[in-house]
Amino acid sequence: MEKGRIGIDAGGTLVKIAYEESGRIKYRKTGYKEAKELLAWLKLIAPGATPSVTGGRAKWVKEHFFPDAMLVPEFEAVCSGADILRREEENSAAGQFLLVNIGTGTSIFIAGEGKCDRVGGSGLGGGTLTGLGSLLSGTDEFSELVGMAAVGSRQTVDLLVKDIYGGGDEPLNGDMTAANFAKGKGAGKDDLAAAIINMIAETLVLLASQIALARKIESIIYAGSTLAGNAPLKAALSAYTEAVGLKPVFFGNGEYCGALGALMAGAATSN
């Protein structure tokens, strides 16, 4: 592995790695319980490498594992990585785009053409799913909550517009939410998990779509670790985005935007 060809994104919940091997970029991730083993493995397979590190816990990685590591500003790394994936996976031309990066929380960026402006965000994200999920469903395991949501129905939890009107003369789409969790008493765990994911999705689309429409942007790119293996969230984001006349875009490796951007920043510095 070439010196400088490792990017590490040490976020609030996960450590994500992008590394170059035999001319190809590969990815790995782990939670913090296993992070020491993964980072030790990196040092073993690439003893001469100097990683580039980003994320909220980047200094922890630098202090304990790679003292010579280059620190890359988190927003810069995320925007840069997303721009690379956008061109590779979407065959998109150069230009600015709207990025919604859903990690533990969520940040919204206008990026591209060397630009990376955080224009919004929300405390809703993966941390909401696991934290609120633990309170309401009894587990904070991400995969379990996603599995529950996949078979649950938010209609037993959320008060919908059609629940209020009931006569088919609703001024809005009857399936729109009038009040999140307003019917939640006595709801099952699967339905509660579905309602949590729905609340995250519709809130983020509401925020992002207002920015997109104001700036005449026709699509919204969704990335971040909370989307990994999370079909219910992707489906909800897609449905709400299309409902407001915009195109939702997802990357195959979207959870690694920060790690990829860090890798590229380090490569540019070493050249």
- Is-catalytic flag, 74? yes
| 3-state SS, residue 226 | helix
Q: Rounded to whole angstroms, how far apart are CA atoms 222 and 113? A: 19
Residues 6+ apart with CB under 8 A from 106: 100, 121, 122, 123, 124, 125, 204, 224
* Paired strand residues for 16: 9, 29
Residues 6+ apart with CB under 8 A from 22: none
Residue 171 sits at the vertex; the CA angle it makes with 165 and 176, to the nearest 5 degrees, is 75
Distances from the Cα of 1 to the Cα of 51, 84, 259, angstroms: 11, 21, 16
Q: Are 96 and 82 in contact (CB under 8 A)?
A: no
| 3-state SS, residue 38 | helix
Catalytic option among 2, 37, 74, 255 = 74
Which position has the token pair 């729905």?
198
What's the burial of 49, exposed, middle or buried (CB within 10 Å: 0-12/13-18/19+)? buried
H/E element holding 210?
helix 189-214
Q: Rounded to whole angstroms, how far apart are CA atoms 164 and 170? A: 9
| Dihedral in degrees, nearest 10, Cα atoms 108, 113, 114, 120 | -10
- Report, as residue numbers or ranges, the catalytic residues: 74
